[in-house]
Amino acid sequence: MERKLRASQFHRKKTDLPSQLDTYVSKLWPDHFSIRLLLRNILVTIFSVQLFTATILLIITAIRDRHKKDRSFPHIDLKEVQVGENRLQLYDYGRELYKDMLEAIDNAEESIYIESYIWKDDEAGWEFKAHLAQKAAQGIDVYVIFDQIGNLVVPQEFKTSFDPAIHLLQYQAFGLIQHIIDPRRYALDHRKLLIVDGHTSFIGGYNIGSLYANTWRDTHLRIKGPASAEIARSFTDFWNRFCPRDKQISRHHPRRFDPLINLHGNDALRLTFPIRDMYIEAIHRAEHSIYLSNAYFVPDGSLLDALKEAALRGVDVRILVPWVSNHVVTDWISHSYFSECLEAGIKILGYRHAMLHAKTCTIDGQWSTVGTANMDRLSSIGNYEINVEVYSSEFAQQMERLFACDTEDVIELSAKQWHKRPWYNKLSEHILAPLRFMM
């Protein structure tokens, strides 16, 4: 009898176990609990903190810029150099660049192709429009491309007031409603080009505007010679892809192989991004020096690893960035890379004279690149970009001279100094660091 009673009690306890567990779980996880809701709340909280941090930084920047005065910056005169069949001229000052660009436009005999991510409604912007209109009136074929999103803040009247004789393409990322679900269509046209008669070309970081002419430190390159035809072909390929069929350019610019000057262009629709690969391969080959100037230093893992590995094997790696750029959030995201760069032996140099907008690199006194691509994810695997790769010791010497001029008076970080920065700086960097995958 006693055994039967114990068995009955055991059976009842065993039977009640699931219900006891349910009661315990319900106390831990209420009926209204949802993993999806928890994740959503976590993401909303993280995003809100990031947004709040970014807003505070933008407010601080606006207050700072209100009292900021334009400062002059050092720049040097560089002579034209011969590279194979082409003559190359470097520019580090916008006013001198614009002068030569307008002169090339005025001397055009057949065609003018001009492409700019940003085209400001100011004195410089109107001056370019006037010179182009004059050439179009003379019967020269004038083609203009600018990015619609890049010029959102430019008045619509300015964007639509080009002379009717000028062929105009306002590139827009989303031509059709279904493009919104295609990640490839989110690419912007970040290129800056001018090609005259398929023989004289300009390529680099300068947009069109008085701000860039006078107060920004940027780098641009002029090429006179057959290599310009390849740049002209890149322009016509882009134009013909995005313009109406009846507006396509029929003029042919021959492709050619040049062992000394190569053109690399990102193509978002085809998912080809050779500029990033060009950088990685050149960095892997470096033996002595890497001098890199870039406006927005937010490299992906492979690019960053290549730079750190070069420094660890004894290469003199120096990275010049604007100490204060025009995008304060990008600055703070960029800062989150500095610790591991410094620990690997990379020298981080902050340019403080002006906004540094250059996108250049020279390696071992032999290899150089000038172009439109920043060292961030938007340029590496996103936007339409274009860079020239040059194999020439004489041209590399000029690039080194330019880098030496830019780094005469800079803020050079040390690992010890950087680790001692205020805690709130470190906190802001950590909060904003996840945004690096969007920059």
**Alpha helix (H) ranges present in 169-318?**
210-214, 227-242, 274-285, 301-312
Cβ count within 10 A of residue 252 = 11
CB 70 within 8 A of CB 94: no
* DSSP code for 356: E
* Mean pLDDT, residues 287-291: 98
Q: Which two tokens stand for residue 421?
A: 């920065």
Phi, psi dihedrals of residue 359, rounded to the nearest 5° = -135, 80
* Mean pLDDT, residues 409-420: 88
Q: What percent of the chain has pLDDT over 90?
A: 67
Per-residue pLDDT reduced to its tens digit, 104-132: 999 999 999 999 999 999 999 999 999 99
* Mean pLDDT, residues 195-222: 97
* Mean pLDDT, residues 75-91: 96
Total residues belonging to the chain: 439
Place of tokens 């010497």: 397
pLDDT band for position 43 (cuts 50, 70, 90): low
Asked whether the predicted pLDDT for residue 56 surpasses 70, the reply is no
For residue 119, give the nearest of 99, 146, 142 by alpha carbon: 146
- HSE of 70 in the Cβ direction (CA atoms, 13 Å)? 8
Highest mean pLDDT out of 25-34, 212-221, 377-386? 212-221
What's the pLDDT at 7?
47
* DSSP code for 163: -
Per-residue pLDDT reduced to its tens digit, 381-409: 889 999 999 999 999 999 999 999 999 99
What's the pLDDT at 430?
61
CB 85 within 8 A of CB 225: yes
Q: What percent of the chain has pLDDT over 70?
A: 80
Cβ-based burial of 243 (10 A; exposed 0-12, middle 13-18, buried ≥19): middle
DSSP string, 324-352: S-S-HHHHHHHHTTHHHHHHHTPEEEEE-
What's the pLDDT at 397?
98
What's the pLDDT at 64?
58
Maximum Cα–Cα distance across the chain: 117
Distances (CA, A) of 297 to 57, 391, 396: 18, 24, 22
* Mean pLDDT, residues 27-50: 62
For residue 166, give the nearest of 192, 189, 140 by alpha carbon: 140
Distance CA(376)–CA(438), nearest Å, equals 9
Distance CA(389)–CA(278), nearest Å, equals 8
More reliable by pLDDT, 299 or 328: 299
* Mean pLDDT, residues 18-31: 52
Per-residue pLDDT reduced to its tens digit, 241-283: 999 999 999 999 988 899 999 999 999 889 999 999 999 999 9
pLDDT band for position 145 (cuts 50, 70, 90): very high
More reliable by pLDDT, 200 or 178: 200
Asked whether the predicted pLDDT for residue 61 surpasses 90, the reply is no
Asked whether the predicted pLDDT for residue 355 surpasses 90, the reply is yes
What's the pLDDT at 178?
73
* Mean pLDDT, residues 280-308: 97
